[in-house]
Amino acid sequence: MELKTLSEPTELESTLSHLSRATLPKVLQVQQGIVRATHEFMFKKGLTQLMPLMLSPITDPLNHGVVDASIGYAGRQWSLTKSMIFHKQLALLNPDLDSLYIVSPNVRLEFADRADTGRHLFEFTQIDFEFKGKDRFYVMEFMEELVNFVFARLNKELPALLLELRGELLPQYEKWPVYRTEKLEAALGPDYERIKSEESTEPFWLMNHRREFYDKEDPKRPGTYLNYDAVWPAGFGEGLSGAERENEYHQIRKRMAEVGTNEETFKHYLRVAKEQGLPKTAGGGFGVERMTRFICRLKDVDEATAFSRKPFAKALF
């Protein structure tokens, strides 16, 4: 008897079948609706839109390792953008600019251990925003209002699609609960974020992450940070990261030393902080594909892409 060999689909076959999924156009319509409603919300709230940058001598160092993505050009190294955090702070040096946002493509060449989290892409879009002279309370309320605005708009514009993709229309949320990482960890163990996300029915804030040097240390509680992640419920996990920022020269250098940042890389940024003074700002950024995933109840964030960007994807285009 002849045995049939079961062959793996070729890379070309899997690339093309990812692209021709029947649900893709529907998911993309929802995603377009998110971006369209967000632009309108930002405009209503008076934020100025900056165009994204993809190359810069400095970019977000992130608080986890990724494969380096930088290229030599014109006598220096330029990194592909991991987030526009420093450009958000620097742009707000302009005295007539009080708040801004960017639909910002980010490249984070994740290692293979993040391939199957359901939440990671090695290239994605975040909507990044920053306010001068505002604090965490302002930003958190802003995001809560944004989500309700976007959800209401989608319910109005795309009700049939939402019913088909998620089985019901989108909710409106009251104020989101706020938790602290150290308290949740004490109660739920090291996997607290996933557990809390799975048992929640509404988005929540998680404050005080050990993150990059640019997130402000709480002057009242040294060793803790005035940052916040927004976490989607039902196990969808992190959807936004943000913080009040360090803007004072000595404090930035102290934080850089603590997390092991190379000051040389940031020497011009440090000079601005020292000589010019960085403005006091707060902000955040949410992942567009992650919001799409939550709304459409997708198993993996990569289902929101036409061309797979799952870490280590077998993607040909």
Considering only residues 18 through 77, tell me which ones interact with ligand ASP, judged by CB under 6 A: 60
* Residue 285 interface partner, choices ligand ASP, Mg ion, none, CB cut-off 5-8 Å depending on type: ligand ASP
Cα–Cα nearest to 60, from 265, 238, 210: 265
Q: Which is nearer to Mg ion, 15 or 200 (CB)?
A: 200
Q: Which is nearer to ligand ASP, 57 or 105 (CB)?
A: 105
DSSP-derived secondary structure for 81-118: PS--HHHHHHHTTSTT--EEEEEEEEE-B--GGGTTSS
Residues 239/273, Cβ–Cβ less than 8 Å: no
What is the strand order of the sheet 237-244 is part of?
A: 48-50, 99-107, 123-132, 281-287, 237-244, 227-232, 204-207, 178-180
Closest approach of Cβ 283 to ligand ASP, in Å? Answer: 5
The answer to whether 305 contacts ligand ASP (rule: CB under 6 A) is no
Whose CB is nearest to Mg ion? 241
Closest approach of Cβ 240 to ligand ASP, in Å? Answer: 8
DSSP 5: P
Closest approach of Cβ 190 to ligand ASP, in Å? Answer: 21
* Residue 244 interface partner, choices Mg ion, ligand ASP, none, CB cut-off 5-8 Å depending on type: none
DSSP 158: -
Considering only residues 223 through 282, tell me which ones interact with ligand ASP, judged by CB under 6 A: 241-243
Of the candidate residues 83, 125, 181, 208, the single one contacting ligand ASP (CB under 6 A)? 83
The answer to whether 285 contacts ligand ASP (rule: CB under 6 A) is yes
Cα–Cα nearest to 99, from 44, 180, 154: 44
C-alpha 284: how far from its chain's center? 8
Q: Buried b / exposed e across 72-95, counting CB within 10 Å, b at 16+? A: eeeeeebbbbbbbbbbbbbbbeee
* Residue 239 interface partner, choices Mg ion, ligand ASP, none, CB cut-off 5-8 Å depending on type: none
What ranges make up the beta strands (E) of the chain? 48-50, 55-56, 70-73, 76-80, 99-107, 123-132, 178-180, 204-207, 227-232, 237-244, 281-287
* Residue 242 interface partner, choices Mg ion, ligand ASP, none, CB cut-off 5-8 Å depending on type: ligand ASP
Pairing status of strand 99-107 against strand 48-50: parallel
Would you give the binding string for ligand ASP spanning residues 88-127, x where CB under 6 A is met?
A: --------------------------------------x-
Would you give the binding string for Mg ion spanning residues 205-244, x where CB under 5 A is met?
A: ------------------------------------x---
Closest approach of Cβ 131 to ligand ASP, in Å? Answer: 11
Residues 5/73, Cβ–Cβ less than 8 Å: no
Binding site for ligand ASP (CB under 6 A): 60, 83, 85, 126, 128, 241-243, 283-285
Binding site for Mg ion (CB under 5 A): 241
